[in-house]
């Protein structure tokens, strides 16, 4: 495999180079400020726990959530060829909306089970609401897919030779 040679200089004029240097310096200053604030305000006995939670955040995303998304999209890419592209697209939007809502609401349901600090915190039936939200997403997706397929079928009847999807 041919691997292009690595360039020694980064492209861009003098202004771009100066801007980059300034940004990196300001950014590093920001990180240092954050570290100073942390050292001032947080007891060193808590650093271990904080580092663990930081590392776990990255690992949870990079090693669990993202690979699952990659695996699912690979399967969709290979198995979804027989499904009309537009219908697949609409369904994917629906799934993403449902999954993101679930990610945001599941910790809330768990916190409610653990027992909130008073009755006015987490007063709703979040599990029921999540189920309703999924039902709405599924219904809206179904209607949109059906509408798309009807329009597509009509178009194909009119111009059978042009539509490939």
Burial code (b: 16+ CB inside 10 Å, e: under 16) for 103-130 equals eeeeebeeebeeeeeeeeebeeebeeeb
What minimum distance in Å lies between the beta carbon of 48 and another protein? 8
What minimum distance in Å lies between the beta carbon of 29 and another protein? 7
Between 29 and 151, CB nearer to another protein = 29
Compute the distance between CA of residue 25 and CA of residue 15 in angstroms, rounded to an integer: 15
What minimum distance in Å lies between the beta carbon of 160 and another protein? 17
Between 77 and 154, CB nearer to another protein = 77
Compute the distance between CA of residue 95 and CA of residue 134 in angstroms, rounded to an integer: 9
- CA torsion through residues 92, 93, 98, 99, sign: positive
What's the burial of 90, exposed, middle or buried (CB within 10 Å: 0-12/13-18/19+)?
buried
What minimum distance in Å lies between the beta carbon of 117 and another protein? 5
Strand positions, DSSP E, 12-89: none
């Amino acid at each position: 495999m041919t691997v292009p040679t690595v360039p020694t200089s980064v492209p861009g004029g003098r202004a771009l180079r100066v801007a980059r240097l300034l940004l990196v310096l300001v950014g590093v200053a920001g990180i240092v400020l954050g570290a100073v604030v942390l050292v001032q305000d947080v007891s060193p006995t808590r650093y271990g726990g904080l580092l663990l939670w930081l590392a776990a955040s990255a690992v949870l995303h990079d090693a669990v959530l993202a690979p699952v998304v990659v695996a699912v999209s690979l399967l969709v890419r290979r198995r979804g060829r027989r499904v009309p592209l537009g219908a697949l697209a609409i369904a994917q939007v629906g799934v993403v909306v449902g999954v993101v809502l679930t990610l945001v609401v599941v910790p809330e349901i768990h916190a409610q089970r653990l027992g909130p600090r008073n009755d006015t915190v987490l007063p709703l039936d979040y599990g029921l609401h999540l189920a309703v939200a999924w039902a709405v997403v599924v219904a809206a997706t179904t209607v949109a897919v059906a509408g798309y397929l009807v329009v597509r079928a009509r178009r194909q009847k009119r111009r059978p030779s042009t539509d490939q999807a």
